[in-house]
Amino acid sequence: MASKKVCVVGAGVSGLVSARELRREGHDVTVMEQCGGVGGQWLYDRRTDVHSCIYASLRLILPRQAMSFSDFLFYPRDGGDARRYPGHGEFLRYIRDYCDKFGLMDAVRLHTKVLRVAKMDDEAGDSRWLVKSCTRRGEDDGAGEAVVNEEVFDAVVVAVGQYAQPRLPNINGMEKWKRRQLHSHSPWTTSSPPCPRRCRGTAIYTYSFAFLDTGGAVTVDDNRVGPLHEHTFPPALAPSLSFVGVPRKVIVPRFYELQARWVAQVLSGRQTLPPVEEMLRSVAEYNRAREMAGVPKSHTHVIFDLEYCDEFGEKHCGFPRLPEWKKELVWSSIHNMRDDHEMFRDNYHDSELVREGLRSQGWLAGPEDNVQDRIKV
């Protein structure tokens, strides 16, 4: 198998699982992260103008049993938040534990902001990527000297860009309004009453890849990143450029793990991609089908379809399908959320199928509703 020198942009869930899968395939991996720790959007900071969409009281909306990597389950830690729907801090600890478990930190450069990623062709005609980054020295806060580096990589995996850039409404005359304008990303920077925060049918965040220079081969149009074959590979630049983490409303981290494994295996030669023309045709057909179904362009990457996710994994990297009990667990959670948005995380009842599935993975389901999930000792 071929080994590549790969740069992963971002050390959130999608970036870390990309690093893990790339290393499993024998690639030399460097992960660049602008913050002072791993976790991506889950790295909560009390400041408002930061690269995260997390707020202090946030709890997961899917059960922890569904939100885990395939070979590293999201069991409660001693002294942690053992609830089925824990707070965001518990999930961040889980991400860090995953990072430690598989020794990924030695590949991560913290306080390192990617300034530019640009394609370059060598004399043999092979595509490589020039990555310009800025690392701020300093043991903890990265407040020291800024050092700019330029490095060449065989491939780049973009694992950022989904939740940092607020999607501002396009309102006629907005640029002429001289008074205060707010966005829900940081509503508490003013003492005025908060704006309404529920929006239906629109995206609150927009994809942004300001560092990426593809010469127009990849664009963001009304929140559609494209063209992307299966939301992952831009046909004209594949496989040396890929995106992991673009899809929304998928089961995380499972779907990003599927993408990462596919990317890693394509780069090593274990898997192959269709011809460019075929990938472009596939993208066009997908977009056309979504449009005919009435799906807005801005929802191109919203994929709440468990069957599609299963087929994706089977087709591209031989990933096992999601067990039926986990599918039922996910669906019951969603239905409960619709019926009781305030209390669904604490009021739930498992079917016998779900209870058997929980026991099969070492979870001990309680005999009554609302009994805390536990681990067999």
Residue 298 shares a structural domain with residue 359: no
Residues whose CB is less than 8 angstroms from the CB of residue 138 and which lie 6 or more positions away in sequence, other chains included: 111, 144
Q: What is the pLDDT of residue 140?
A: 65
Residue 171, in any domain of the structure: no
* Amino acid, res. 131: V
Considering the domain architecture, whether residues 220 and 291 belong to the same structural domain is answered as: yes
- Same domain assignment for residues 249 and 352: no
DSSP notation for 19-61: HHHHHHTT-EEEEE-SSSSS-GGGS--SSSSSS----TT-B-S
The verdict on 254 and 357 lying in the same domain is no
Q: In the chain, how many domains are there?
A: 2
Q: In this predicted model, what pLDDT tens digit does every residue of 324-339 receive, in sequence order?
A: 999 999 999 999 999 9
Residue 365: its pLDDT value, please?
60
Whether residue 265 lies inside any domain: the answer is yes
The whole model's pTM is what?
A: 0.87
Determine, yes or no, domain membership for 74: no
Closest CA to 17 of 339, 229, 252: 252
Range of the domain at 345: 325-375
Establish if 154 belongs to a structural domain. yes
313 and 367 co-located in one domain: no
Is 21 inside a domain boundary?
Answer: yes
Q: Do 365 and 353 fall within a single domain?
A: yes
Residues 342 and 263 in one domain: no
Q: Are residues 288 and 340 in the same domain?
A: no
Asked if residue 249 is part of any domain, the answer here is yes
For residues 302 and 351, state if they share a domain.
no
Instruction: Return the pLDDT at 199.
Output: 43
- Specify whether 236 is located in the same domain as 317: yes
Q: Are residues 160 and 268 in the same domain?
A: yes
List Cα–Cα distances, 98 to 18, 198, 309, in angstroms: 12, 33, 22
Q: What is the CATH number of the domain that holds 135?
A: 3.50.50.60
Q: Which residues on adjacent β-strands are paired with residue 213?
A: 118
- Flag residues of the chain having pLDDT under 50: 164-167, 185-202, 367-371, 375-377
Residue 194 forms part of a structural domain: no
As a whole number of angstroms, the distance between CA 357 and CA 364 comes to 10
Query: Is residue 124 domain-shared with residue 244, that is, in the same domain?
Result: yes
pLDDT at 180: 66
- Show Cβ contacts of residue 234 under 8 Å, excluding neighbours closer than 6 positions: 214, 217, 218, 226, 227, 228, 241, 242, 243
66 domain-assigned? no
